[in-house]
Amino acid sequence: MTTTHVDAIVARLNALHPKRIDLSLDRIHRLLDALDHPEKRLPPVIHVGGTNGKGSTVAFLRGILEAAGLRVHTYTSPHLVRFNERFRLNGELVSDAELTAALEECAQANAGEPITVFEITTAAGMLLFSRHPADVLLLEVGLGGRLDATNVVEAPIATVITPISVDHTDFLGDTLEKIAFEKAGIFKRNVPAIVAAQNRDVLSVLERQAARLSAPVKVAGENWTATEERGRLVYQDDNGLLDLPAPKLYGRHQFENAGLAIAALRALPQLKIPPAAYEAGMTKADWPARLQRLSAGRLVDLVPPGSELWLDGSHNPDGGRATAAALADLEERVSRPLVMIAGMLSTKDASGFLRNFSGLARRLIAVPVAVSEKAMSPEAVAEAARAVDIPATSRATIDEALETVRKLDLDPPPRILITGSLYLAGDVLRENGTLPQ
């Protein structure tokens, strides 16, 4: 891999990181001021927040917009294998040279002041996006919304909120209502707000915040529906019905994410998206480590013959629920014993996540998450699994875990799911030789 210059500067920027993250827009505003405000020279922005499904929704938005012949930039996080994955310029990952130059420019303008890596990364993105013409910029929130570094954009053309659930409680609050208030912070006056199906209390908070800003709200289940019918996605709103292919991304929840993307674009008639682009967008959308089936690579060669190897980065209870439901659908279609390989961070609700797989998973093998100091020990993950009645053991590496699966000698060959952390998913893609394009 040729990311040495990018990795080196990111490591250097880590040294400027405040000892404790206090969510604030002061640091990013100071830096953007020193850079002469690239955030004021961006293409039209669709700002995407929420808890689960942000990246998949961005993937559907991008697929549809590009199918319509529009030039699209995207800003997403975290990356899985290469830092460059966070930035797409007109559909292509930013080059090492251009990304390194933008990060260096931001580091110089920051002049050694405390700043988080996400904030300086966001500023670098603003520089890159302001210098390349495009029709739309898809901007994914990093953490929360109200005080997220991406929330320096004053006039997006739309804001989108995916399903909200409990996550990052140390930053966003310990109740769904508090978290919803933070997420609603991306709403802007008179700007359409497109909202996925939500818990009733969450929806009340979102609608109250939108009303305060006179932001017209469109809500799943009220203003539009997106359902699976005979293996196709049927979308319906006041403007009519779209009968579309099933989303390329697997799982029932992806029908909902696709519907959210369609609703957002239907709320923007100025983009003039033709019906054919919605159809092409469903089959074009790509988002690694979201129930991704690995069909070739070094790790695939280690699984028992005839097995399936799936990778999913979900890591909170609601994400686990969606993943488990998708696997239950697969089990109904083609029955196989499910073996989980899981690694998690200590900041996540391991038992809440794993409980979704009780009665579905035959066994769990816990592994370490190598790249984070917040990693939960494999023994602790295995203990959390046993507490929700999933037989579990632990191993030191993915290779050893796959060796353990082979020794189980299951018949029929198993369906293996590696899950619990996007950091772990990145390691798996790297080890398998599957680099996101």
* Number of residues written out for the chain: 437
The answer, yes or no, to whether residue 427 has pLDDT greater than 50, is yes
Average pLDDT over residues 273-289: 96
pLDDT of amino acid 21: 63
User: What does the pLDDT look like over 63-116, one tens digit per residue?
Assistant: 999 999 999 999 999 999 999 999 999 999 999 999 999 999 999 999 999 999
Q: Residue 185: give its domain's CATH number.
A: 3.40.1190.10
Q: Please report which confidence band the pLDDT of residue 13 belongs to, taking 50, 70 and 90 as the band edges.
A: confident
Question: At which of 284, 306, 335 does a domain end?
Answer: 284
Q: Are 234 and 299 part of one and the same domain? A: no
Q: Among 42, 35, 12, 40, which residue's Cα sits nearest to residue 105?
A: 35
Question: 359 and 272 in one domain?
Answer: no
Asked if residue 377 and residue 396 are part of one domain, the reply reads: yes
Considering the domain architecture, whether residues 243 and 312 belong to the same structural domain is answered as no
What CATH number does residue 327 fall under?
Answer: 3.90.190.20
User: ∠ CA(157), CA(161), CA(163), 5° rounding?
Assistant: 165
Residue 209 lies in a domain: yes
Q: Is residue 389 part of a domain?
A: yes
pLDDT of 1 reads: 42
Residues 213 and 315 in one domain: no
Torsion of CA 90, 94, 97, 100, to 10 degrees: 120
Tens digits of residue pLDDT in 221-244: 999 999 999 999 999 999 999 999
* Domain end (from 218, 251, 284): 284
Same domain (yes/no): 210, 113: yes
CA distances 391 to 210, 340, 382, 387, 414, Å, are 46, 10, 8, 9, 15
Side chain identity at 54, as an amino acid letter? K
Separation CA 321–CA 356 (nearest Å): 5
Are 169 and 314 in the same domain?
A: no
Q: In this structure, are 302 and 272 located in the same domain?
A: no
Question: Over pLDDT 70: what percentage of the chain?
Answer: 96
- pLDDT of 179 above 90: yes
**Is residue 417 in some structural domain?**
yes
273 and 232 in one domain? yes
Number of H helices, E strands in the chain: 15, 17
Q: How confident is the model at residue 19 (pLDDT cuts 50, 70, 90)?
A: low
Q: What does pLDDT average to over the chain?
A: 94
The answer as to whether 19 is a domain residue is yes
Query: For 187-213, what is each residue's pLDDT tens digit?
Result: 999 999 999 999 999 999 999 999 999
pLDDT band at 16 (very low <50, low <70, confident <90, very high): confident
Q: What is the rounded radius of gyration, in angstroms, for the C-alpha atoms of the chain?
A: 21
Which residues on adjacent β-strands are paired with residue 226?
Answer: 235
Write the pLDDT tens digit of every residue in 316-374. Answer: 999 999 999 999 999 999 999 999 999 999 989 999 999 999 999 999 999 999 876 78
Across the range 249-262, mean pLDDT stands at: 96
Do residues 188 and 219 share a domain?
Answer: yes
State residue 73's pLDDT score: 98
pLDDT at position 17: 74
In the three-class reduction of DSSP (H, G, I as helix; E, B as strand; rest coil), residue 262 is classed as: helix
Q: Output the CA–CA distances (angstroms, integers) from residue 173 to 18, 46, 179, 181, in the order listed.
A: 20, 25, 6, 9
- Other beta carbons within 10 Å of 370: 13
Short-list 170, 159, 181, 210, CA closest to 46: 159
Q: Average the pLDDT over each of 58-72, 133-147, 163-177, 216-230 and give the range with the smallest value.
A: 163-177
Short-list 346, 408, 334, CA closest to 372: 346
Residues 273 and 329 in one domain: no
Strands, DSSP E only, in 361-401? 361-366, 392-394
The verdict on 86 and 107 lying in the same domain is: yes
Q: Are 257 and 162 in contact (CB under 8 A)?
A: yes
Flag whether 304 is in a domain. Answer: yes
123, pLDDT greater than 90 = yes
In a domain, 319, yes or no: yes
- pLDDT score, position 2: 47
Mean pLDDT along residues 385-412? 97
Look up the pTM and report it. Answer: 0.94
Q: Single out the residue in 284, 303, 324 at which a domain terminates.
A: 284
Q: What range defines the domain where residue 80 resides?
A: 4-284
Domains contained in the chain, number: 2
**pLDDT score recorded for residue 314:** 95
174 or 142: which leads in pLDDT: 142
Look at residue 341 in the predicted model and tell me its pLDDT.
98
Q: How far apart are CA 398 and CA 229, in angstroms?
A: 38
Q: Is the pLDDT of residue 12 over 60?
A: yes
In a domain, 437, yes or no: no
| 43 in a structural domain | yes
For 112-223, list the strands marked E by DSSP: 136-140, 158-161, 193-195, 217-219
